Structure 1
Amino acid sequence: RNLVPSSGPGVFALQSALPPDDRSYGFDRGIAVSRQWDDSTTSAAIEFAAIAAKELYPRYLRNQREKPNENRALLKSFLRETLDVAFRGALDDESASAYVDLQVDKTEDDFEAIKRVLLLGLKSPRFLYPLADARATISQRAANRMTLVLYDSLPSDEWLLKRISKNELVKDWQLREAAKRMVNDYRAQAKIREFFYEWMNLSYKGEITKSQELFPGFDAALLSDLRASLDAFLDEVVTSPSSDFRQLFLADWSYTSDRIAKFYGEAWKPAVDGTLGVHRTSRSSETMHGVLTHPYLMSALAYHDATSPIHRGIFLMKYVLGRSLRPPRMLLPL
C-alpha cells in the first residue's frame, strides 16, 4: 500500500534548515524577515545551485547536444530557463543581461557561473515574494496563485507553462479546467490530507502508545493500519468522484484491515473476505460515525492506559465547533 502506482520526475529534497514557522495565527507560516531567515534562504540557494551545477546542467547539455554552443550559449540558455521558472515569468532582455549574461561573462568556470547566477536569482525578491508579479500577464498571475494555494509551489509543469505562454488562463472555464486538473495532482491531494490532519490536531501528536498490559496487540503495525484506514476514508469522502463531505460525520462505514478487525472486533471486519490491504467495512450505525469515532483519532485523544472524555470534549469544542473554551469562574461554590 506504500507504493505509488505511477512514476514521476525526480525531486530535490532541500536539506538546509529553514526558520521555525509561527503558529500564532493558527497555522504554520513565516511572518517576519530576520537575519536567521536571510541566512537560511542563502544556504538553500547555495545548496540548490550546487545540485543544479552537478546534475541539472549536465543533463541539459545531453538533451541539447545538437544545438550550437558558441559563446557559452547553452549555459546561458539553461540559466535563463531556470530563472524563467523561478521568477514565475520569462525574463526580459534587460533582466536576462543583468541576472545571466553579465554574471556568466565574469567567470570562466561554468559551475561557478551557475552558482553565481542562481544565488543572485534565488535571493531576488522576484523569487522570494510570490505576489511580486504585478507586471505579469493575467494568465501568469492566475497560475502563480493556483500553484501557490494548491501545491505550495510555483508554475513549473510543462502543460501549465504552455497555457501561460498562450494566455489561456483568462476565462472562467479555462481556470476551472486547469484547477480541476491541479486538484487531482498528488501534491494537491497531499495538501488536502495535511489540512485534515491539522484540523483533527493529529499533525503534532507524538507517538501514540498504549499499555501492553491493558491493550495487548496495540503496536506500531496496528497503528500503521489505523492511519492507512483514516487516509483511505478521507480520500473516499473528500477527493473521490463520489465524495460527500457530510460523510465526514455521518458515515456508518470505514476502512479496515485484518489486523484492525482482529483488534477491534466484529464491526471492523472487511465487507469482503480474503483481500489484502485496507477495504471498506460493512455498515454499522451503532459504532461508526465518520471521523468522530475513528480509532486512530480516538487513540490520539486518550491516555496511555485509559480513555479521556475531557480530551474528546476539548477536541469537539475547539476543532469541530471552532469555539474557544472559557476559563472557569473563580470561587465557584462547592
Structure 2
Amino acid sequence: MSFFRFVRDLLLQSACLTVLIGLFAADYTRVMAAEPTLGERIYLERCADCHGVHGEGVEGAYDEPLLDERSHIELTDVIVQTMPEGAPDECTGEDAEAVAKYLRDVLYPRQAAAVRMRTRVELSRLTVRQHQNTLADLIGSFRNRKDADKIWQQQLNAWRAPASADESAATEDAVKDDKEPTNGLRGTYFKSRVVGFRDRVFDRIDDKIDFDFGEGSPDPKLSAEEFAMAWDGSVLASESGEYEFVVDSMNGVRLFVNDLQNPIVDAVVQSGDQTEHRGTVHLLAGRSYSVRLEYYRSKRDKLARVALRWTPPNHVSEVIPHRALVPWKSPETFVVTTSFPPDDRSTGYERGNAISREWDDATTDAALETAAYVVDHLDELSGSKQADENREEKLKAFCEQFAERAFRRPLAKDVHQFYIENTFAKSEDAGQAVKLVVLMTLKSPRFLYHLPGSENGDDYDRAARLSYAIWDSLPDKELLKQAKEGRLGNPTQLHRQAIRMVEDPRAQVKLRGFLHAWLGLDTMHGLSKDRERYADFGPPLVSDLRTSLNLFLDQIVWEKDSDYRRLLLNNQQFFNRRMAEYYGVPEVKQDEFQRILFQPDYRAGALTHPYVMAGFAYSDSSSPIHRGVLVARSVLGRTLRAPPQAELPLPPDSKPDLTTRQRVALQTSSDDCMVCHRIINPLGFSFEHFDAVGQFRPVELERPIDASGIYLTSSGEKVTLETAVDLAEFLAESPSAHGAFTDQLFRYLAKQPIQAFPLEVREQLVSGFQKSSYHIRDLVADSAVAIAAAAPKTSPSDPSPSSEVSKP
C-alpha cells in the first residue's frame, strides 16, 4: 500500500507543479506583453548598445553593470549632459526624466539583485596579519597564563585615553593616596653595582625613563659614586612592525625586550665615547612585551644619565611615553619574523585571496622558524623535562593540542593517526617528531585556509569565524570550551562571547585599523610638504599628529557611549607642546598629550583633524577633490566612476589670480567631469578653511574663504553647507553614512563582501546600529555574531572544503 500511496502523492505534486508553471507562464506572458514605458523604449533604442538590454554592460563599450545610487534629479542631469555618448542633445526634457525613472525603478534594482546573486564567499587563506597573530597566540596558549587576566586588564586600562579631565584628576588623586599607578615601569634602586636583594634600597614606579643625575644620584639614600637601577614592566605596541629601542647613557646598561634571557642591548662595559646603544625587535600591535633595563654607575663615571627611547612604525624617535608602559611583566610572545608578500587591498580591506610561489615559500619559512622556536622552548611549552619517564607521552599530548588549536577543532581519529602517531613512529627521537608535527601542521590547508569543518558549519566553525572577525586570530580557551559544550549555536551565548572579546586589546587594534581605512589613512604614504612654505612641518610633527589622531579615535570608541556620531562631531583633540606651538594653542605647554577644545567654530571630529586635512592635500595647497572623494566614497558610500582620462591638477602658478576653489571649479566644469564632481566638489569645498597642513585660514589670496556648497543626496534632498561643521552635522545624522559605516565595518571584519550574506543581515545590522544610538563596539559585536552565525553563500567555483578536510 505504501508504494501506491507514494505514486499517488507524486502524481498530485506533479499536477500542482503543472498548474503553478502554467500560472507563472501566463503571468510572465502578460507582463512581457505589456506596453513598454517611454523610458524603456528610449533606453532600448539609444542606450542598450553600450549598456546592454538589461543594464548588464557590454564588453568593449561599458563593461560595468548599471548600478548607481544617484537621485532621480542627478541622473536626469547626467543623461541630459552626457548621454548618449557623443550626442547628449538627443535625450533631454521629459525623455531624460523617463530614462532616469526607468533606470532607478527597474534596471538598478535588477542589477543589484543580479550582483547579489553572483556574490559568494570566496575560499580564502589567512592574511599576513592573521598568520602572524595566529602563530603568536598558538604558541602563547602553552605558556603560563596564571596572571593573564590581570595583565590583560592592565593593558586595557593603559591603552585607554582619559575620558575626561575629571578622570585625569581622579588618577592623580589615586597616586597621591599611594595607590599604585597603572602606567610606567617599576624601578628598583641599589646602593652598589650589584643588582641583588641584599643591596636593594627602595623601589618605585617611574612614569618614564629619562633621567640626568649629573654628578649626583637619584636619591639621598644612594651614594653618588656608585649605584645601580633596574626597571621592570612591559611596553605596549600600538602598531605592528619593527621597533628600534635606544638606551642613551654614558654608563653601563643592558636592555631586554620580550625575551628576558637575551638582551638586545648589552653595554654593561662601556666602550669608547658611545652613548647611544640600539637594538631592534619586531612587535605585533595590541600586545604587551616584557622589558627590563639595567643601569650601572661606577666610581670612574663622572656623570650619570639614562634615557630609554624607541622608534615605532610610522613614528620618529621619542622617549617611551608613560601611556606605553605598565609596571607588570608579560609572558613572552612569539613573533614570527618571516617576510610575507603583501595582501591584496584593492577592495579597501586585506584579503587572503592571492596564492603565489612567494606566499607559499613564506609560509614554509614561517613554519620552519616556528618549529625551531618550539624545539628551543620545548620543555616550557610541553610542561615536561628531558628526564621525565613519560616524556614521549607528554610530547605527544603537546603535539595533539598544538594541532587541535592550529586547526581550530578537535582531531578526527584518522587525522590524529596521520599527524601524531605516524610521525612519532617514523621519527628517530621525540624532539624530531615534534618538529615534524609542527611543520606539517603549519603547512596544512587546515591551518592556512579558512575551511569549514562541515557543509553547514558547526560550533567550532562559529568559534573560528568569531575570533578571526574580532581578533584576526584563533579562538582562545574560553571560546573553544563553549564550542566543545555546543553553546555557540545559541545566539545569546554567541553574542555574550563577542561582547567579551571586543574588550580585548587585540580588538582595539583591529578596530583602530578599520578606522584608519575608513579615514583613508592607509593610502597616505609619506606626508611631506613644501619646505619653503611649511619649513617646520617635518617628521616629528607628523609623528605627533598621528599619535594625536589615534588618541582621539581610541577615546571615542572606548567611551561608555562609543557613539559613532562623536567621531564626526567631537571638537576636543589631543595636543602636546610641539603641536600646540605649530597650530597656535597657547594653553598647552607639556610634552605629554592632553585633551583640549580645539577651534570648535570651525572644526568637528576626525575629518577636520590636522593629520587628515594634511594627508588629503597637496604639498603646497589644499585639495578639495581628494577631501571630497574621501567623504563621498568612504563616509557616504557613494559610487564614483574613474575619471574618463587622467588630468593633472591646475598648478597654482598657472592661474595665480584664482583661489584653490576657483581652480578646481574651472578644471572640473566639463559635462563629463561634473557627472561625479556634482557630488565631490560641494563636499570637498567644505574643508577649504584648512590649508595644506591642516591649519585654519580665513582668507586665500586676500579673499575670504568660500566653503559653501549644495550637496544633493541620493534621495534627491538638497543639503546646504557653509562650513566643515555643517558637513559633519549632516554626516552624523545621514542614513547613507550610517549604512556605509556598517557595510565597511562588516567587510573589514569578515574580509568578505556583505552581499555574500543573507539580505536580512545588513538590514538587521543597520537597524541595530540605529537602536543602540550608534554604539560602535556593539556594532562590532553584532557584526561578528552575524559573520559567525550566518550561512553565507559559498562560491560554486571554490573547491569543496569538505573533501579537503576529509583528507589528513
Answer whether contact 2:399 2:437 (CA < 8 A) is retained: yes
Question: What is the percentage of aligned positions where both structures have the same residue?
Answer: 37
Paired residue secondary structure (1:203): helix
Q: Which residue of 2 aligns with 1:185?
A: 504
* Closer, same or farther: CA 306–7 of 1 in aligned 2, 3 Å: farther
Q: Once the 2 structures are TM-superposed, how far is the Cα of residue 183 of structure 1 from its aligned partner?
A: 0.7
Greater relative contact order (Cα < 8 A, sep 6+): 2
Q: Which residue of 2 aligns with 1:98?
A: 418
Question: When the two structures are superposed, what TM-score results if normalisation uses the length of structure 2?
Answer: 0.38
Q: Which residue of 2 aligns with 1:306?
A: 621
Answer whether contact 1:247 1:290 (CA < 8 A) is retained: yes
Answer whether contact 1:126 1:132 (CA < 8 A) is retained: no
* Structure 2 unpaired stretches of 5+: 1-320, 646-667, 672-808
2:613 partner letter = M
* Closer, same or farther: CA 149–239 of 1 in aligned 2, 3 Å: same
Answer whether contact 1:14 1:47 (CA < 8 A) is retained: yes
1:104 partner letter = F
Q: Once the 2 structures are TM-superposed, how far is the Cα of residue 210 of structure 1 from its aligned partner?
A: 2.5
Q: Once the 2 structures are TM-superposed, how far is the Cα of residue 7 of structure 1 from its aligned partner?
A: 5.1
Q: Once the 2 structures are TM-superposed, how far is the Cα of residue 275 of structure 1 from its aligned partner?
A: 5.9
Q: Which residue of 1 aligns with 2:634?
A: 319
User: For 1:50, which of 346, 369, 372 is the aligned residue?
Assistant: 372
Q: Once the 2 structures are TM-superposed, how far is the Cα of residue 276 of structure 1 from its aligned partner?
A: 5.5
Q: Once the 2 structures are TM-superposed, how far is the Cα of residue 108 of structure 1 from its aligned partner?
A: 1.7
Residues in 2 aligned to 1:9 and 1:139: alpha-carbon distance in whole angstroms: 29
2:615 partner letter = A
Q: Which residue of 2 aligns with 1:293?
A: 608
Q: Once the 2 structures are TM-superposed, how far is the Cα of residue 80 of structure 1 from its aligned partner?
A: 0.8
User: For 2:450, which of 112, 122, 130 is the aligned residue?
Assistant: 130
Answer whether contact 1:103 1:116 (CA < 8 A) is retained: yes
Q: Which residue of 2 aligns with 1:88?
A: 408
Answer whether contact 2:384 2:391 (CA < 8 A) is retained: no
Q: Once the 2 structures are TM-superposed, how far is the Cα of residue 194 of structure 1 from its aligned partner?
A: 0.6
Answer whether contact 2:344 2:354 (CA < 8 A) is retained: no
1:73 aligns with 2:393: yes
Question: When the two structures are superposed, what TM-score results if normalisation uses the length of structure 1?
Answer: 0.86
1:15 aligns with 2:337: yes
* Closer, same or farther: CA 24–33 of 1 in aligned 2, 3 Å: same
User: For 1:165, which of 477, 484, 488 is the aligned residue?
Assistant: 484
Paired residue secondary structure (2:607): coil
Q: Once the 2 structures are TM-superposed, how far is the Cα of residue 136 of structure 1 from its aligned partner?
A: 10
Describe how 1:95-244 pairs up with structure 2 within 5 A.
95-134=415-454, 138-155=458-475, 157-244=476-563
Residues in 2 aligned to 1:284 and 1:65: alpha-carbon distance in whole angstroms: 64
Number of residue pairs aligned between Structure 1 and Structure 2: 326
Answer whether contact 2:419 2:440 (CA < 8 A) is retained: yes
Q: Which residue of 1 aligns with 2:57?
A: none
Task: After superposing the two structures, state which structure 1 stretch, 278-287 or 254-263, moved more.
Answer: 278-287
1:163 partner letter = Q
* Closer, same or farther: CA 222–33 of 1 in aligned 2, 3 Å: closer
1:316 partner letter = V
1:175 partner letter = L
Q: What's the CA shift string for 1:120-178, capped at 9, x where partnerless? A: 222222212223322898432221111111111111x3333333333343323322221
Residues in 2 aligned to 1:49 and 1:99: alpha-carbon distance in whole angstroms: 15
1:265 aligns with 2:574: no
Cα RMSD of the aligned pairs, angstroms, is 2.9
**Structure number with bigger Rg:** 2
Residues in 2 aligned to 1:32 and 1:207: alpha-carbon distance in whole angstroms: 27
Answer whether contact 1:236 1:242 (CA < 8 A) is retained: no
Describe how 1:24-43 pairs up with structure 2 within 5 A.
24-43=346-365
Residues in 2 aligned to 1:167 and 1:47: alpha-carbon distance in whole angstroms: 35
2:338 partner letter = S
Paired residue secondary structure (2:535): coil
Q: Once the 2 structures are TM-superposed, how far is the Cα of residue 313 of structure 1 from its aligned partner?
A: 2.3
1:285 partner letter = P
User: For 1:256, which of 566, 575, 582 is the aligned residue?
Assistant: 575
Answer whether contact 1:253 1:288 (CA < 8 A) is retained: no
Residues in 1 aligned to 2:386 and 2:560: alpha-carbon distance in whole angstroms: 46
Paired residue secondary structure (1:180): helix
* Closer, same or farther: CA 256–14 of 1 in aligned 2, 3 Å: same
Answer whether contact 1:210 1:304 (CA < 8 A) is retained: yes
1:60 aligns with 2:375: no
Residues in 1 aligned to 2:591 and 2:360: alpha-carbon distance in whole angstroms: 49
More helix by share: 1
Q: What's the CA shift string for 1:279-316, capped at 9, x where partnerless? A: 22126421321111100111111222332223222322
Residues in 1 aligned to 2:538 and 2:554: alpha-carbon distance in whole angstroms: 24
Answer whether contact 1:269 1:282 (CA < 8 A) is retained: no
Paired residue secondary structure (2:508): helix
Answer whether contact 2:552 2:573 (CA < 8 A) is retained: yes
* Closer, same or farther: CA 319–135 of 1 in aligned 2, 3 Å: closer
More strand by share: 2
1:295 partner letter = P
Task: After superposing the two structures, state which structure 1 stretch, 294-303 or 125-134, moved more.
Answer: 125-134
Paired residue secondary structure (1:26): coil
User: For 1:277, which of 573, 582, 592 is the aligned residue?
Assistant: 592
Q: Once the 2 structures are TM-superposed, how far is the Cα of residue 86 of structure 1 from its aligned partner?
A: 0.4
Paired residue secondary structure (1:209): coil
Q: Once the 2 structures are TM-superposed, how far is the Cα of residue 67 of structure 1 from its aligned partner?
A: 10
